[in-house]
Structure 1
Amino acid sequence: MSDGQSRPTSGSGQIVVSGLTKQYRNLRAVDNLSFTIAPGRVTGFLGPNGAGKTTTLRMLLNLVTPTAGTATFGGRRYADLQQPLQHVGAVLEASSAHKGRTGINHLRVICAAAGLPRQRADEALAMVGLTPAANRKFKGYSLGMKQRLGIAAAMLGDPQVLVLDEPANGLDPEGIRWMRGFLRALAAEGRTVLVSSHLLSEMQLLADDVVIIAAGKLVRQGPVDTVIGSMAHSSRVRVRTPQADALANALAAQSATVTRDADGVLLIDGVDAPAVGRAALAAQVELHELTTERLDLEGVFLELTSGKAGIR
């Protein structure tokens, strides 16, 4: 993605949020929030609607003043960065531009204002696959094209850090796949990529790490696999049998925990599928289904945030 110049040192891309708080009169949108985002990785920033994600990102980018706490890039606040576009690229909503201006001219205006070389507009447009639409007017861009143009604008300064809020909005499946590859390639170059999204299945494919918040507070942070594995019910055995009581009694002797869903299916924790099969054989229980269910990121997210109402 870069032009061959050396990337900044890894510490310059570290994002540190420490005790970040935002109080709006009687509403605490963000409450003593702390987390660290590492360079060279894609981090998903997740939370229910109203959890405080956008407020946190806006404080990170000096668009909202914190009530307390700090948010820094490589130890410096965004407001203290010289030539911030060369350190941090951000897209908090689909790109907006004068409807009569072409995509390439929109980027050239930003380059001129930021003191960046004019050719960066062409390079950034090519980077996001919009060169064929360079001379089309913004009013003719689809939402997905506007998203790509916003990312191109964020990349003009060849930043070490990229902060994106719902970047897949408006993208078709091919566009989402492109986005995934693009962001992972940026992280592979040693950049820091922070992505807020509601598309949890996509986040499981894209993200190395996740930060999950609810009601303005940190709920869980860590590598995706570690967060999923930390749940008490990260995996369980699902069984359908016409002799459910007999199997449940046999498994109770093995200290397994057995519950039933609304359809009478047994959900078993504490033993694996082979142990359930052996218990069923010994008890002469007929099995119609025996599968291992594993929690995915969506299941973990829902379990961690259940009952923790977002702030609206």
Structure 2
Amino acid sequence: MSDGQIVVSGLTKQYRNVRAVDNLSFTVEPGRVTGFLGPNGAGKTTTLRMVLNLVTPTAGNATIGGQRYGDLAEPLRHVGAVLEASSAHKGRTGANHLRVIAAAAGLPRQRVDDVLAMVGLTPAAKRKFKGYSLGMRQRLGIATAMLGDPKVLILDEPANGLDPEGIRWMRDLLKSLAAQGRTVLVSSHLLSEMQILADDLVIIAAGKLVTQGPVDQVMGSMSGAAHVRVRTPQADALTAALTAQNATVTPAEDGALLVLGVDAPAVGRAALAAGVELHELATDRPDLERVFLELTAGKAAIR
């Protein structure tokens, strides 16, 4: 088993009459960014807290590199985590906040300067925490998580409070960390961003696994996930030509035709053979938001 592999096996958490997580199992691989998605109340944060031994499971277990987080000899050197925007003493500077944590963990002082530079906070290192914006606090949280140069990074809504430039910075940073062979597990509600950022997805609802796998596989698993969009002044002729090839043709509200069962080149060839003029021809793939909503529809949080 890889040092950075996260294995969640049969995790269950029962709070009196509420089952927050229900027999949940999935694996997170090193060298990849894994998006952890689910509606509000799906059990994402509870799951992450169980992985980090902040919450005791009712059943099941979670390991990182084959060990429970609580059994790691030097956890900060193995796992960095941000479950909410960084908190610190309001009168302490960002640099001093990191120095206290580094000293307590036996980490070299140089790591403070390294991680401040990594997250772009060097110019604000001597500013007091109370003057930090939410985006700056998110960056400080990432810096704190990276102090031990860990192989595994677990983040809950890391882009919260970031402006578009900050979100792009976060994306580039997490992709670069994964490219170094680290394991990056990210929970987020920003589905459009996760479609760009993530290599793999784990989607849960009502505490249960809905699906997992590479982004393209999850996107392509939907029935009718991709269709060809075509526009022509000779809709009837093209429909007949495509139907003869066992394609399914559905008129769209805007006058275009939506074609399932054949790809765009096949539609173009059919149009050419039938002497049909085309004004538009494109493959229309759903975004992650549409796939996510379809996958989780009707799966309300357990109460």
TM-score where L is the length of structure 1: 0.89
Letter in 1 for 2:297: S
Mark the runs of 5 or more structure 2 residues left unpaired by the alignment: none
1:75-106 per-residue CA deviation (whole Å, 9 max, x = no partner) reads 11111112211111100111011111110111
Query: Structure 1 stretch 22-31 or stretch 249-258: which is displaced more?
Result: 249-258
Mark the runs of 5 or more structure 1 residues left unpaired by the alignment: 1-9
The answer to whether the 8 A contact 1:250-1:283 is kept is: yes
**Identical positions, percent:** 82
Cα distance in 2 for partners of 1:249, 1:270 equals 14
**RMSD over aligned Cα, in angstroms?**
2.1
1:112 is displaced (CA, Å) by 2.5
The answer to whether the 8 A contact 1:14-1:37 is kept is: yes
1:75-94 to 2 correspondence within 5 Å? 75-94=66-85
Query: Structure 1 stretch 259-268 or stretch 204-213: which is displaced more?
Result: 259-268
When residues 294 and 128 of structure 1 are mapped into structure 2, their CA distance, relative to the original with a 3 A threshold, is same
Q: 2:111 aligns with which of 117, 120, 125?
A: 120
The answer to whether the 8 A contact 1:42-1:184 is kept is: yes
Match of 1:12, SS state, is coil
Q: 2:21 aligns with which of 21, 24, 30?
A: 30
Q: 2:167 aligns with which of 161, 176, 186?
A: 176
When residues 305 and 264 of structure 1 are mapped into structure 2, their CA distance, relative to the original with a 3 A threshold, is farther
Cα distance in 2 for partners of 1:121, 1:274 equals 55
Q: 2:258 aligns with which of 253, 267, 274?
A: 267
How many residues align? The count is 303
The answer to whether the 8 A contact 1:127-1:152 is kept is: yes
1:202-222 per-residue CA deviation (whole Å, 9 max, x = no partner) reads 222221211111221112211
Corresponding residue of 1:203? 194
The answer to whether the 8 A contact 1:233-1:269 is kept is: yes
Match of 1:126, SS state, is helix
Cα distance in 2 for partners of 1:76, 1:224 equals 27
1:53 is displaced (CA, Å) by 0.9
1:274 is displaced (CA, Å) by 3.4
1:285 is displaced (CA, Å) by 5.2
Corresponding residue of 2:216? 225
1:246 is displaced (CA, Å) by 4.8
Query: Structure 1 stretch 104-113 or stretch 292-301: which is displaced more?
Result: 292-301
Q: 2:176 aligns with which of 161, 166, 185?
A: 185
Letter in 2 for 1:175: G
Cα distance in 2 for partners of 1:284, 1:189 equals 53
